[in-house]
Amino acid sequence: MATTTAHALFPSDIGECAVAWGPAGITGVLLPAGDTARLRERLARRAPTAREAEPPAAVAEAIGAMQALLAGEPRDLTFIALDLEGAPDFDRRVWDITRQIPPGSTLTYGDIARRLGDVALSREVGRALGQNPCPIVVPCHRVLAANGRTGGFSAPGGVDTKLRMLSIERAASDPSPSLFGDLPMAARPQR
């Protein structure tokens, strides 16, 4: 099982996020939870023995890259070392494929299932992505349901957060209008 020893909060263009790490790499990333107190509560549940600390150089570099990506810069985060020890092998295979999706691009659950060798695994792919401990670094927001539907998103804010992250990435890499134009998040289709 991955060992989480420390964590830190960091600001981003989508709100305050958190990162947790251990000796072998990052063990978790948390998206904004509405306020700092709720974010700290989620950290305490996920890693009760971890302490808040100044990030070491590799984690600080990862935070900077995540902040840049969330600010609209197309950043490749595959250099970030993750410690996913203890996660099921199937889930890690799904996350490995997901990490290869470049900013501004998407795959479907079925695309990932096909890469795993069986399109019938689409539901299991969705379940694995719902268990993703490192959103942003494992960009599960870039995975859509069939026919371009958004599918689910288990992070705080749900599908609105997913659409916001996709919009940020596309703004930097695709100057054409988005599918939803200037509709506010609440007015956009959910599925």
| pLDDT at residue 7, rounded to an integer | 96
H or E stretch at 57: helix 57-70
Q: Is 38 helix (H, G, I), strand (E, B) or coil?
A: helix
What is the residue-level pLDDT of the chain in tens, covering all 191 positions?
A: 688 899 999 999 999 999 999 999 999 999 998 889 999 999 999 889 999 999 999 999 999 999 999 999 999 999 999 999 999 999 999 999 999 999 989 999 999 999 999 999 999 999 999 999 999 999 999 999 887 777 777 777 778 888 889 999 883 333 344 444 443 333 334 33
| pLDDT at residue 17, rounded to an integer | 96
Longest alpha-carbon distance in the chain = 47
| pLDDT at residue 103, rounded to an integer | 93
In the numeric block, which tokens belong to residue 107? 């795959």
Residue positions annotated with a catalytic role: 140
**Over the range 46-78, which residues count as b (16 or more CB within 10 Å of their CB) and which as e?**
bbeebeeeebeeebeebbebbbbbbebeebebe
| pLDDT at residue 109, rounded to an integer | 95
Q: What letter does residue 56 receive in the DSSP assignment?
A: P
In the numeric block, which tokens belong to residue 2? 């991955």
Q: What letter does residue 21 receive in the DSSP assignment?
A: E
Q: What is the pTM of this model?
A: 0.85
Q: How big is the CA angle at 118 (ends 146 and 77), to the nearest 5 degrees? A: 70
| pLDDT at residue 161, rounded to an integer | 84
Could you tell me how many residues make up the chain?
Answer: 191
Phi, psi angles (nearest 5°) of residue 44: -65, -35
| pLDDT at residue 97, rounded to an integer | 98
